Amino acid sequence: MIKLRSILLYILFSLHIPFIFSTTYYIDSQSGNDSNSGKSLALAWKSLGKVNSSKFIPGDTILFKRNSIFSGQLELKIEGTNQHLIIVGAYGEGNKPQINGAGEKQYTLLIENSAYCIVRDLEITNTGSERKNRRVGVLILAENSGDRHQITVQNLTVKNVNGSLIKKDGSGGGIYWENKGDRIKTRFIDLKILDCHVKDCGRNGIYSGGYSGRDNWYPSLGVLIKGNLLEGVSGDGIVPIGCDGAVIEYNVMKDCPDILSPDEAAAGIWPWSCDNTIIQYNEVSGHNAKWDGQGFDSDYNCRNTIIQYNYSHDNAGGFLLVCNDGDSLGKNWNIGTDNTIIRYNVSINDGLRAYPTKQAGWFSPVIHITGPVTNTQFYGNLIVVRKKESAEIDRSILKMDDWGKKWADNTRFYNNIFYAEDDAQSVFKFGGDTQTLFRGNTYTGNIENLPNDTQRLSIKVEDIQKVLRTTNINQMIFELKSLNKSSDIKKHKAFEPGKIWTDTDGVHINAHGGGILYHNSKYYWFGENKGEKSNNALVGVMCYSSDDLYNWTNEGVALSVIENDENSPITKGCIIERPKVVYNEKTKQFVMFFHLELKGKGYEKAHVGIATSDKPTGPFKFIKSYRPNAGYYPVNMSDKQKNKKVSPDHFPKWWTDEWTAAVKDGLFVRRDFQGGQMSRDMTVYEDDDGKAYHIYSSEENLTLQIAELSDDYLSHTGKYTRVEPAGHNEAPAIFKKNGRYFMITSGCTGWAPNAARLLVADNIWGPWKLYPNPCVGKDSELTFHSQSTYILPVEGKKDAFIFMADRWTPKNPIDGRYVWLPIQFENNMPVLKWLDNWTLDIFDK
């Protein structure tokens, strides 16, 4: 036997197979003995103290006997590995092992500086003689220990925790996680809180603390809070703080006792100081906080929060709060509340508060939007208002409000259903909010002060009732989506150039000057988000996805402008134009390029901006902006041209023959040699060999330049060429067919359309030959009242290319239209012909 074991060990070492000798430990509060080894049922340990003082290695399992009752605290410092987790749980039959903390310490269960572990199947209480601040049932703490990976808390019962009900004193609650560190930045990665039952815990349910200020932000990643039941929680239900990409789904919060003071604000589920939070398939009911008291909240210091597919009902304060602290606007710790999406939620009978609040009297709007929140989208939701118990109760469906005398900007309501049941009296209330738009909504019942909705829809009451016949969230959302699809929102089956093109929510697509990426069998369309009155970037770059090129789903803002930081190159109010995204196979990164002009500087900077993401839909992180190829001359510029001493100062008057000749000779290339070449209208092209090129209008929009990108696509190599010097081209769009490169461009006439130009080359580096306008027929001299932006190769079809162009409307930019036309070929040269309506079948002919 010894010889066989030696042989097996030799084989394991030879093959470099990791192995570990793990142990299962048993703890029995009745029959155990701490003098035992703990390694079998018969030799179980007895106390929590024995567990707390023991060391465990990766792969170990620690099991407490069911029906056991322990007093004190379980204090775990356990760290497994990715392959060998440490598991804490229960064995035997009966009730979960119960650990009663009796209020002796802040916590009953402590999981401190741990990683790669699962703690499950325990019952936790922590009841002291009186309420105490910061008292919790479970404390998950990471401090000065770096990244803490894969901690899972599952199927715990946490009950009877009498923490403080006062938030400013530190409150208390069921499960609390916190990451901090004054020496080592510390955070959680892939923390999971699953299937727990939090009952009768004060003040809060499942909540957190972390690096919350944006001036010291170090977010936890991959946090998942799923399948939990919260009952008897009077304050905040589920609140992630200092997280990026947290997902909160399939949780239920109900039966909230009305025991908070009038000074206490609380709500069901909401993030704070978080980016990219997804809150979905949750149910919140019966929240009774005396201020706020909504089911859901998109709170401040957050970006890109998505609240979708949730069920909210019978909450005293309403369904939804979206807020930003106007008094802290502009401070370096608060980034604001930007790009919240609220979609496909159901709210029934919210806003019931039957007494005046201390803060604002009778106040319980179903939807409360307050303070300088920006770029909020609210679509596809069903809001059902029922009769109030008394005439004093707030009847507001929507209240647009100020915080710090600052108001919301750019709020969009699309394709929602506002239903006042049984003629319940309801009202919309507006104030100093700006750019609030309603389009394609349904209003049914006794509703006053209706918004100006340009495309109002009508859905039958009996169809709305179908959604209300079930309380199952999945079925409810299915019925709601079916209701939206059966309304006037049409499914596109063809391209209709120049007409309003709506997305799958019935909203005009807002992706101007864009380009398309094909990745993993799906198309992604990136473009400028335009507002009603300004061509400046107030939102950022939008992303839409499609399987068929006709119907596009809004994926939200891929790259957001930065709020309240005037030092950021992409601060709100800058100019972002013609975004294009390419995927780098080597780095597995999506790289976005765009023309960037700094806020308030007009078009003088002429920078290229670069941002990256690990997902096509973003969020993209801004990396840098600059003028490309500083310190390099074009490959097709002669030494004689490089060494000429003529500068722009020699020409007090432009557009003379001498000046044009000097431009062709490299006048502006030499001027910009040290600081880099101007980069305005642009595209990015990835060739067959994976090499990528940045193509842009340069030299005061007089000359196109084609520049090679580095292997990671994040910088320029310094190799570039000039195309049509002094030709006055912009808006380049390029494709390749049978080894030849074709580029369609535009002349420079501001926002007004002009005749397209065609350039052809056998090599990306040229020489490029100029050909006449490829457009033919009526309005061809104006490129059908549009300007080129991108040429899309159609996946799965040979030699199939779509010419993408924009119809600009500078007086009302959001109303810009898209002109997509098939590129046809005559004598092996591209031709563009106007078609009122066409399908991809044209490429099969």
**Residue pLDDT, tens place only, 714-764:** 999 999 999 999 999 999 999 999 999 999 999 999 889 999 999 999 999
Is the residue at 288 inside a domain?
Answer: yes
**Residue pLDDT, tens place only, 441-459:** 999 999 999 999 977 888 8
State the CB neighbour count (10 A cutoff) for residue 654.
Answer: 11
State the CB neighbour count (10 A cutoff) for residue 281.
Answer: 18
Q: Cis link prior to 767 (omega < 30° from 0)?
A: yes
404 and 473 fall within a common domain: yes
Is the residue at 55 inside a domain?
Answer: no
How much is the pTM? Answer: 0.76
Split at pLDDT 50, 70, 90, the class of 296 is very high
Is the residue at 20 inside a domain?
Answer: no
| Listed residues 626, 661, 677: the one ending a domain | 626
284 and 359 fall within a common domain: yes
Q: What does 541-574 look like in DSSP terms, one character per residue?
A: EEEEEESSSSS-EEEEEEEEPBSS-TTSTTBTT-
Interacting residues of 796 by C-beta distance below 8 A, sequence separation 6+:
none
**CA 778 – CA 163 distance, rounded (Å):** 75
533 and 437 fall within a common domain: no
| Listed residues 587, 607, 626: the one ending a domain | 626
Lowest mean pLDDT among 18-27, 483-492, 781-790: 483-492
pLDDT at 482: 80
pLDDT at 786 over 80: yes
Which is nearest to 237 in space by CA: 762, 442, 229, 99?
229
- Parent domain of 351: 257-489
Calculate ∠ Cα 818-819-824, nearest 5°.
150
Mean pLDDT of 44-58: 98
pLDDT at 245 over 60: yes
414 and 532 fall within a common domain: no
pLDDT at 17 over 80: no
Strands 151-154 vs 117-120: parallel, antiparallel or unpaired: parallel
Which is nearest to 263 in space by CA: 228, 292, 296, 243?
292
Counting every residue written for the chain, the total comes to 845
479 and 584 fall within a common domain: no
357 and 415 fall within a common domain: yes
Find out whether 535 and 502 touch, Cβ atoms under 8 Å: no
Lowest mean pLDDT among 153-157, 645-649, 715-719: 645-649
* Residues facing residue 568 across a β-bridge: none
pLDDT at 811: 84
307 and 381 fall within a common domain: yes
Is the residue at 162 inside a domain?
Answer: no
| Eight-state DSSP code of residue 421 | G
Backbone φ, ψ for residue 561 (5° rounding): -65, 160
Find out whether 96 and 66 touch, Cβ atoms under 8 Å: yes
Identify which of 377-381, 588-592, 797-801 has the greatest average pLDDT: 588-592
pLDDT at 454: 76
pLDDT at 14: 47
**Over pLDDT 90: what percentage of the chain?**
85
**CA 373 – CA 355 distance, rounded (Å):** 28
371 and 289 fall within a common domain: yes
pLDDT at 488: 53
**Residue pLDDT, tens place only, 505-551:** 778 899 999 999 999 999 999 999 988 777 899 889 999 999 999 99
CA dist list (Å): 68 to 33, 127, 193, 406, 548: 14, 18, 24, 57, 59
Q: What does 79-101 look like in DSSP terms, one character per residue?
A: B--SSS-EEEEEESSSSPPEEE-
pLDDT at 24 over 50: yes
**CA 608 – CA 592 distance, rounded (Å):** 10
**Over pLDDT 70: what percentage of the chain?**
97
**CA 490 – CA 506 distance, rounded (Å):** 7
* Residues facing residue 199 across a β-bridge: 159, 231
306 and 403 fall within a common domain: yes
Lowest mean pLDDT among 14-28, 29-43, 134-148, 549-563: 14-28
Torsion of CA 538, 541, 543, 544, to 10 degrees: 60
CATH number at residue 592: 2.115.10.20
The total domain count for the chain is: 2
HEC string of 732-752 equals EEEEEECCEEEEEEECCCCCC
Backbone φ, ψ for residue 838 (5° rounding): -155, 160
Report the SS3 class of residue 844.
helix
Backbone φ, ψ for residue 828 (5° rounding): 65, 20
pLDDT at 314 over 90: yes
pLDDT at 502 over 50: yes
420 and 289 fall within a common domain: yes
Interacting residues of 446 by C-beta distance below 8 A, sequence separation 6+:
420, 423, 424, 425, 426
Indicate if the alpha-carbon torsion angle 450, 455, 458, 459 is positive or negative.
negative
Split at pLDDT 50, 70, 90, the class of 20 is low
pLDDT at 613: 97
535 and 593 fall within a common domain: yes
**CA 500 – CA 785 distance, rounded (Å):** 15
**CA 295 – CA 310 distance, rounded (Å):** 10
Is the residue at 690 inside a domain?
Answer: no
pLDDT at 19: 52
End-to-end CA distance of the chain: 76
Instruction: Tell me whether residue 423 is exposed, middle or buried, using C-beta atoms within 10 angstroms of its C-beta: 0 to 12, 13 to 18, 19 or more.
Output: exposed
Q: Tell me the helix, strand and coil percentages in the chain, rounded to 5.
A: 10, 40, 50
428 and 572 fall within a common domain: no
Split at pLDDT 50, 70, 90, the class of 485 is low
Strands 382-385 vs 522-528: parallel, antiparallel or unpaired: unpaired
> Where are the strands (E) in 404-474, listed by range?
409-414, 417-420, 426-429, 434-439, 442-444, 447-448
Which is nearest to 206 in space by CA: 168, 245, 246?
246
Instruction: Tell me whether residue 417 is exposed, middle or buried, using C-beta atoms within 10 angstroms of its C-beta: 0 to 12, 13 to 18, 19 or more.
Output: buried
Is the residue at 576 inside a domain?
Answer: yes
CA dist list (Å): 28 to 137, 215, 841: 21, 49, 72
Is the residue at 337 inside a domain?
Answer: yes
Split at pLDDT 50, 70, 90, the class of 382 is very high
**CA 136 – CA 471 distance, rounded (Å):** 32
Is the residue at 238 inside a domain?
Answer: no
pLDDT at 11 over 50: no
**CA 682 – CA 735 distance, rounded (Å):** 14
pLDDT at 562: 87
> Which own/partner contact pairs does 637-645 have at CB distance under 8 Å and 24+ positions apart?
637/666, 637/669, 637/722, 641/665, 641/666, 642/666, 642/670, 644/670
Find out whether 164 and 156 touch, Cβ atoms under 8 Å: no
